[in-house]
Amino acid sequence: MKKRLRRIFGERGAAIVEMAIVLPLLIVLVFGIVEYGLLFKEKLTIASAATSAARTGATMGTRAEADIAILRALEAGLYDQVDASVLISVDIFKANPGTGAKTTFLNRYIYNPAVSCKWVPCPDPTPGPAVYGSPSDWGNPSVRDTTLDPGGGGLDVLGIEVVYHHSAVTGMIPGIERDLTELARVRLEPDVFGTGP
């Protein structure tokens, strides 16, 4: 009887020791799955919103309200992540037509919910003259090329670069809190009807 009790209590003690060794690893694994799952969800949401914003920009062409329409489409796609602590900057840029690489021709906007149009500088031409991004090398959308040349070229490639900050939820996984970038590019649609700005 004593041998049987010793064996039972000995097995229980071994199980407790094994659990004490495995449980912390299991907890870290579960938190890692949660953290990377949320990071992946945020990345997909922002990439989808950037793509939607780029498509909006492609259809807006050379209209004065093109940049504000792009930014509002981005906001609509971000749902609950439209926050100054998440969004760092949005660049609307002219991409290299061959490679799609970002060029120096860009308008940079910073999200700020305290101002009326929510973006600094405000590219909304409705209340007054629009102020385009800084640096404003690409400037007013009216300079964007939407003319379809006979050879099929000439259209500008519009790019959207969203820089955002991902915050850790648990703080247990090192390196998860960082700034990330999402890119979307689309060729501007030709202004075949000559409507222009």
Tokens of 23: 């449980």
Summarised one tens digit per residue, pLDDT across range 6-64 is 555 556 666 777 888 889 899 989 989 999 998 999 899 999 999 999 999 999 988 88
The whole-number pLDDT of residue 8 equals 55
Cα gap 162→74, rounded to integer Å: 9
pTM over 0.85: no
Q: What proportion of the chain, given as a percentage, has pLDDT over 70?
A: 83
In one-letter notation, the amino acid at residue 96 is: N
pLDDT: which is higher, 137 or 101: 101
The pair phi, psi for residue 116, each rounded to 5°, is -60, -40
Summarised one tens digit per residue, pLDDT across range 49-86 is 999 999 999 999 888 899 999 999 999 998 876 777 88
Give the model's confidence band at 176: pLDDT under 50 very low, under 70 low, under 90 confident, else very high.
confident
Contact 166, 177 (CB under 8 A): yes
Q: Is the pLDDT of residue 106 over 80?
A: yes
Q: In what order do the strands lie in the sheet with 178-187?
A: 119-120, 102-111, 87-95, 157-166, 178-187
Average pLDDT over residues 109-138: 83
- Residue 147 CB-density burial (10 A; 0-12 exposed, 13-18 middle, 19+ buried): middle
**What's the whole-number average pLDDT of the chain?**
84
Residue 62: how many CB atoms within 10 A of its CB? 19
